[in-house]
Structure 1
Amino acid sequence: MEVNYKNIKVIGFDADDTLWVNETYFREAEEEFCRLLSEYETPNKIDQELFKMEMANLELYGYGVKAFVLSMVQSALELSNYNVSIKTIDKILNIGKDMLNKPVELLDGVEDVLKALSSKYRLILATKGDLLDQERKLEKSGLTNYFHHIEVLSDKKEANYSRLLGHLDIEPSEFLMIGNSLKSDVLPLVNLQAHAIHVPFHTTWAHEQVSETETNGKLYKTINSLKELIKIMD
């Protein structure tokens, strides 16, 4: 079934891996973490245990680099049976600092798309993660002026989006969300009778992956590049 976007008034954009590179840096950090802990376990085991720790800590720490670093430190302690050196802990902290200081690398065509759509629609940024880090990245990106509203959510579930739509004072049918995550940027909106367009990124965090069963029968569009939006929304 073809999706009709004629009633759209507000377009929401995810930030990480939709507007700029993010997950790539986490994968690089995980590889460095595995090297630091290589005397204690295999890379595969370290990776598995780190992910388990992130999931266990998610409700307490939320998303973002700082939460990731805390999970790395806790994993290092447990994997080493609390024998890991202070020097290694310091190196783990520096992995996090390096991540926070990464330059913001915009994905292909992002600014052209925002410039084209901002003349016709109200654009908002709807992302999750650490507030300070997301504000810093947005400032570095140079994209702030394209957005009418910026929302850093603690999570991206139906309840979070419902509150956002209420704040924006629009009906779900008037809202379109753009993002790389089916779990966070697409399915919650479709379930609310809003619209969503999926723009896959080449790397996806395991926590954001969904099964084919979860997407069966869900009405949304998938595009290969953000630049396709200009033609779709023209």
Structure 2
Amino acid sequence: MPDKFATIAFDADDTLWENEQFFRMTQDRFAELLADFTEADHLAERLLAAERRNLGHYGFGIKGFVLSMIETAIEVTEERVPASVISELISAGQDMLRHPINLLDGVEETIGTLAETHEILLVTKGDLLDQERKLAQSGLGDLFDGIEVVSAKTPEVYSTIFARHGIAPERAMMVGNSMKSDVLPPIEIGAWGVYVPHNITWAIEHAEAPEGHPRYRTLDTLRDLPGLIATL
């Protein structure tokens, strides 16, 4: 077991496999369906506001996204949205829930390498059934020592997870593509946060980087993670 780090925790969506691009594709279709009622930019603003509003009700994931689209459609059309549009939005959500998993570059090799020397956790937000489906399809399930599907990633949630696994925060590292969820909360409780940016990130997950913090690092690709760990 390495002296400095005992546990490496990974985010799932857009860290291990593609996710946000399917939301963007569906949102583009949403704009097409409502083009007769409102401009795409205005619709996007209204949808984002609905998603922010509804996080406390629906949590993260496809189901909440679809419900927020339906709510936004009703609002921007002043309750005149055709039933056919609602039906298409529901079908789009079902398509998202059936979409095959596309692993990002270097994911399987990196996790396989680190699993030989570290405890490996998956810490992800979202709908439980959908996250279980994606993990099963990814073929990565056997590489993880623990799976945590949570409703939010706060310092308190990370503290609870690390305590449940018997991990001192200073010997844990969280790796992900969300500055807000994967980097800042672990750093706050004494763990390390490693940011691996994805080319598309949901606006709600944006936050300022803790530049200069001694437990913060950023990587261009997950392939670089074993090398980073070796230098710390």
TM-score bin (small chain)? over 0.9
**What residue in structure 2 maps to residue 223 of structure 1?**
219
Q: Answer whether contact 1:16 1:22 (CA < 8 A) is retained.
A: yes
Letter in 2 for 1:177: M
Aligned to 2:119: 122
Matches for 1:1-80 after TM superposition, within 5 Å: 6-80=3-77
**Separation in 1, partners of 2:41, 2:73:** 14
Matched, 1:84 2:81: yes
1:155-234 mapped onto 2 (5 Å cutoff): 155-211=152-208, 215-219=210-214, 220-234=216-230
Structure 1 position 201, deviation (Å): 0.3
How many residues align structurally? 228
The amino acid across from 2:105 in the alignment is: D
Give the TM-score normalised by structure 1. 0.95
The alpha-carbon deviation at position 164 of structure 1 amounts to 0.5
SS in 2 for 1:15: coil
* 2:97–2:130 CA contact under 8 A, matched in 1: yes
> How much has 1:113 moved relative to structure 2?
0.4
* Match of residue 108 from structure 1: 105
How far apart are the structure 1 equivalents of 2:125 and 2:159? 15
94, 98, 105: which is aligned to 2:91? 94
Instruction: String of CA shifts for 1:166-212, please: whole Å, max 9, x gaps.
Output: 11111111111110111000010111111111100001110011135
In 2, distance between residues paired with 1:8 and 1:217?
20
> How far, CA to CA, are the matches of 1:83 and 1:218 in structure 2?
51
Query: Are the equivalent residues in 1 in contact too, given 2:179–2:208 (CA < 8 A)?
Result: no
Deviation at 1:7, TM superposition (A): 1.6
Question: Which piece of structure 1 moves more, 62-71 or 218-227?
Answer: 218-227
Structure 2 unmatched runs, 5+: none
* Same amino acid, percent of matched pairs: 41
In structure 1, list runs of 5 or more residues that go unmatched.
Answer: none
> What TM-score results when the alignment is normalised by the length of structure 2?
0.96
Output one character per residue of 1:5-52: Cα deviation in whole Å (capped at 9) or x when no partner. Answer: 842101100000000000111111111101111111000000000000
RMSD: 1.1
Contact 1:176 1:197 in 2 (8 A): yes
- Once residues 77 and 3 of structure 2 are traced to their aligned partners in structure 1, the CA distance between those partners, rounded to angstroms, is 57
Is the contact made by 1:33 and 1:92 (CA closer than 8 Å) also made in structure 2? yes
